[in-house]
Amino acid sequence: MSKWEALSFDDVFLDDTKNGVKIKKEKYLDEGLHPVIDQGQNFISGYINSSEGLYTNIPAIIFGDHTRIIKYIDIPFFLGADGVKLLRSKMENISYKYLYYFLVKNEVPNTGYNRHFKWLKELKVPLPPLETQKQIAKILDTAAELLAMRKQQLAELDNLIKSVFYEMFGDPVTNEKGWKAEAGSQIYVFSSGKFNRSHQLDDSYEYPCYGGNGIIGRSKEYLIDYQTLVIGRVGAYCGSIHLTSQKSWITDNAIYLKQYDKSKFELEFLKMLFTELNFNQFADFSGQPKITQKPLLELSYICPPRSLQTKFATIVTRIEEQKSLVKKGLDETQYLFDSLMAQYFD
């Protein structure tokens, strides 16, 4: 990189936000003629049918001033109303895809829900010849497409598990197949996890530590010595469901299934059942989202034959084996992509 000229951010980029028409979130449509691009995780956040003010000076780059999310846009669009910076290049002979990947690699520091554009403007932008920029962008596009394909394969395998569940057991909310149903208090006992001090977490430790959104690290001690289900208790992932390893720690950001009737239920069945019942709907959103055990124990749960659940669990195991292979390929592709990004931009 040192052999290429490095220009200041302001020498390369133009903040063209003022020329983009901003759409308030309450005006987003689920479908429509033109996309609305905001600073959220989703590439397209909504649609609008009006064409007045449509931004057509593309390609362009979107920077989320609060979220730090960066998007490459090559279709006409409208802007989301809050915290979006619309960037164009002051230079004509330049690859926007190259600039996009450079910005993605040089992630600015996260200072919370603040404005981050000032940090972005401190970057120095290395500019190889245009043909080199295009070649770099092409290589990274290929790696990114392979990554997206791997992720799509995982999503399709997850959808397959869900499809098999509904085919075998029907909708667990409406109980269209008429299975016997019981209140959770009759068949389950939940327990809260316990706080795990940060010094007890290290990648070298033996036992996985589960928080509200799955594994958050590895613990030197374990809280339980059996496989069970963990349910996110607080925060953004409130109500999410995870299947633990045999020995693991569970933090106080989660509750777990301490006891259940093993003669009636398979854990793989319960995991899917809990997921489809959407425990998040029972959370208290008056402050930080929080879920308690009470509504979960009062809820009615279908109880299909144990033999049918076992058949479902066997199918899930086979699908999970395929997912493991795809995840391995995904990890290898991610490593390749990161290595290429480092080679070009570090």
pTM attached to this predicted model: 0.78
Q: Residues with Cβ < 8 Å from 255, sequence gap 6 or more? A: 190, 191, 192, 193, 230, 231, 233, 291, 293
How does pLDDT run along the chain (346 residues), one tens digit per residue? Answer: 457 889 999 999 999 999 999 999 899 999 999 999 999 889 999 999 999 999 999 999 999 988 899 999 999 999 998 889 999 999 989 999 999 999 999 988 888 777 889 999 999 999 999 999 999 999 999 999 999 999 999 999 999 999 999 999 999 999 999 999 999 998 889 999 998 776 688 888 999 999 888 898 899 999 999 999 999 998 878 889 999 988 999 999 999 999 999 999 999 999 999 999 999 898 888 777 888 889 999 999 999 999 999 999 999 999 999 999 999 999 999 999 999 999 999 8
Residue 325, both tokens: 């292979």
Residue 80, both tokens: 């989301």
Q: Name the nearest CA neighbour of 168 among 156, 155, 177, 159.
A: 177
Do the first three CATH levels of 5-126 and 180-303 match, i.e. the same topology?
A: yes
Cα 216 to its chain centre, rounded Å, is 15
**Residue 1: predicted pLDDT:** 46
**Residue 199: predicted pLDDT:** 65
Q: What is the CATH number of domain 180-303?
A: 3.90.220.20
Say which CATH topology domain 5-126 has: Adenine-n6-DNA-methyltransferase TaqI; Chain A, domain 2 (3.90.220)
Q: Note if the bond before 305 is cis, omega within 30 degrees.
A: no
**Residue 203: predicted pLDDT:** 87
Q: What sign for the dihedral angle of Cα 217, 220, 221, 224?
A: positive
Domain residue ranges of the chain, discontinuous segments joined by + = 5-126, 129-157+305-346, 180-303
Across 179-212, b (16+ Cβ under 10 Å) vs e yields eeeeebeebbebeebeebeeebbeeebebbbbbb
**Residue 43: predicted pLDDT:** 92
Work out whether strand 78-80 and strand 22-23 pair parallel, antiparallel, or are unpaired: parallel
**Residue 212: predicted pLDDT:** 86
Rounded Cα gap, residues 206 and 249, in angstroms: 10
Q: What sign for the dihedral angle of Cα 309, 315, 320, 321?
A: positive
Rounded Cα gap, residues 225 and 250, in angstroms: 11
